[in-house]
Amino acid sequence: MEQSNFIRTIIKEDLETGKRDKVITRFPPEPNGYLHIGHAKSIIINFGLADDFNGKTHLRFDDTNPLKEDQEYVDAIKEDVKWLGYDWEELRFASNYFDEMYERAVLLIKKGKAYVDDLSQEEIREYRGTLTEPGKESPYRNRSVEENLDLFERMRNGEFENGSKVLRAKIDMSSPNLNLRDPVIYRISHATHHNTGDTWCIYPMYAFAHPLEDAIEDVTHSLCTTEFEDQRPLYNWIVEECEMESKPQQIEFGRLNITNTVMSKRKLKQLVDEKIVDGWDDPRMPTISGLRRKGFTPGAIREFVQETGVSKGSGAVDEAMLEHYVREDLKLTSPRTMGILRPLKVVITNYPEDQSELLDAENNPENEEMGTRKIPFSREIYVEQDDFMENPPKKYFRLFPDNEVRLKHAYFIKCNDVIKDEEGNVIELHCTYDIETKSGSGFTGRKVKGTLHWVDAKSAIPAEFRLYEPLVLDEQMAEDDSEEKDFLDHINPNSLEIVQGFIEPNMKDVKPHDKFQFFRHGYFNVDPKYSTSEKPVFNRIVSLKSSFKI
Ligand code: ATP
Ligand code: MG
Ligand code: MG
């Protein structure tokens, strides 16, 4: 990340003043879901800053909650980080530090800084008080060190039920910062962990585990999002009181949110579990795997995230900005081609029945290096249904009775007859072509206003096109993470439209993730999940037009 930002400034100063002699950052996902584009911001910041200062970055799985975590997520997260273009110096698992965390908790007990509490979760919440009301001390707060050591060991040995006891840090029940009112640091959970199996039945809470993980790994700058700002005093308390040698510094930056989407693993998981989408990699999801399947490129995602910048603020960014960057990225690299999404047959009645020809077409007018191809043309072609109107309004320049249009890379054709079925639906057009008007012939005899794309009917390959709209119709949804606002009420019923059409025959060997610009329709990616050798499926990445201006 080249731009300067407040975190870079802090790191630079730390190095210049000798406060630090190296930079170690970490990206610490919890393996309880797939990564989303918000995580991409964290990845880019952590790996980017370390890289700029010749430091290193750990990929650390923050796997302290056995109930929600799974190997599937570990694998997916690794794949996504790599795909974004980053590689970690070291792969770490927080669960590998369970022994040390336990020892540090025992140290706190010995120092009189932690106690075993028998209050229920509910009671602990009540006793905690509010911003305007001081908390109340638990009746178990003044247990002796010996009793606490004994109870904590027995918690570890599995003598107690889930929820019957917790270990709490003994800090200050009247602190104005609620996080310091004796936070819970260990809970009982008789659950099998994806890494440590049944070794443990007590697990550290995030607020306790995270600072220890950072310190154990000698992380210098622990970068997280602003919702952890209030936790910073607790973070520092834990590093201090647990007598960690290394003293990482927590620095917060603003979350990335995008309009018309939700961006929390909990909500994304709900969409998957309730089958509102077709898995974590559904192209409508803001997950890295969803964006990849839709056809977004790592470069476009990186450019986008960098452009949104690093600050404390976290307004929702317009999704159009992300689309802008993928268009920019694909403009010069993806071949242009023609595809018909909703076919209407056109018979060119003056073109000989047994004849066909190959026409020249450039692959990318903005990038000559991409060369040219030959496309077949014969008596029957397909055009788009909505490129014809029997009774057109003014300024409609496409096909209508007696009107002439240009076929891209081919000839002018004129519509003479409209063929209908019994119900009056238009099923075919009869046109004539003018051999003089061949594309590239230099013909200047007359002009037409409309240019249509088309495919040769005999040789075209059937294809499926999947067109997407935002999954959630609420601009502020991503920002409002509150429970009250049920995002399921805002799901867009038209977020996926599937249409069956045709593509040029020279596309018969397309492979998953090949990207094209279909003339007039936008950029598409070959879907890796549903494409078959007979019929490719194309996900529309983005249409051609943009309302977004940089
Ligand atoms: P979510 O809240 O979406 O469920 P999370 O914060 O619980 O995500 P973690 O796996 O804990 O997910 O996140 C790993 C890292 O990614 C954390 O450091 C977190 O702060 C960061 N991160 C998560 N969401 C965003 C976001 N929208 N913008 C920037 N960073 C994010
Ligand atoms: Mg988290
Ligand atoms: Mg979260």
Burial call 96-121: b when 16+ CB within 10 Å, e when fewer: ebbeebbebbbebbeeebbbbbebee
Ligand 1 pocket test, candidate residues 37, 41, 42, most atoms within 8 A of CB: 42
User: Contact, 431 vs 347, CB < 8 A?
Assistant: yes
CA geometry: angle 294, 523, 539, nearest 5 deg: 35
| CA of 265, closest atom in ligand 1 | 4
What is the share, in percent, of the chain residues with pLDDT greater than 90? Answer: 89
Which residue's CA is minimally distant from atom 12 of ligand 1?
29
Element of type H or E holding 72: helix 71-83
Its CATH class, for the domain covering 339-453, is mainly beta
Q: Which residue has the tokens 């290193």?
A: 56
From the candidate CATH numbers 3.40.50.150, 3.40.50.620, 2.60.40.3080, 3.90.1170.50, the one assigned to the domain spanning 6-253: 3.40.50.620
Residues 384-390: contacts with CB within 8 Å, 24+ apart? 384/340, 384/341, 384/342, 384/343, 384/344, 384/452, 384/453, 385/342, 385/343, 385/344, 385/426, 386/342, 387/344, 387/450, 387/452, 388/344, 388/415, 388/426, 388/429, 390/418, 390/426
Identity of the amino acid at 427 = I
Q: What's the pLDDT tens digit per position in 416-464? A: 999 999 999 999 999 999 999 999 999 999 999 999 999 999 999 999 9
Task: Give me the residue label for tokens 């178990």.
Answer: 140
Tens of pLDDT along 25-81? 999 999 999 999 999 999 999 999 999 999 999 999 999 999 988 899 999 999 999
Measured from the CA of 41, which atom of ligand 1 is nearest? 29
* Residue 261, CA distances (Å) to 16, 21, 268, 480 in order: 41, 41, 10, 11
For the chain, which residues make up each domain, given as ranges? Answer: 6-253, 258-335+463-542, 339-453
Q: What is the mean pLDDT of the chain?
A: 94
Spacing, Cα 162 to ligand 3 middle (Å): 23
CA dihedral 495, 497, 503, 506 (to 10 degrees): 40
Task: Count CB neighbours of 443 within 10 A.
Answer: 14
Across 215-224, 261-270, 339-348, 448-457, least confident range? 261-270
pLDDT band of 319, cuts 50, 70, 90:
confident
Nearest protein Cα to ligand 1, atom 3 = 264
- Residue 15: which residues within 8 A CB-CB, separation 6 or more? 21, 23, 53
CA of 51 to the centre of ligand 3 (A): 26
For 258-335+463-542, give the CATH class.
Answer: mainly alpha
Strand partners, 60: 92
Angle between helices 98-110 and 145-156 (to 10 degrees): 160
Joined together, the tokens standing for residue 299 give: 């470069």
Residues with CB under 6 A from ligand 1: 28-30, 38-39, 41-42, 224-225, 255-256, 263-266
pLDDT of amino acid 488 = 86
Give the separation between CA 262 and CA 286, rounded to whole angstroms: 8
Neighbour count for residue 315 (Cβ, 10 Å): 14
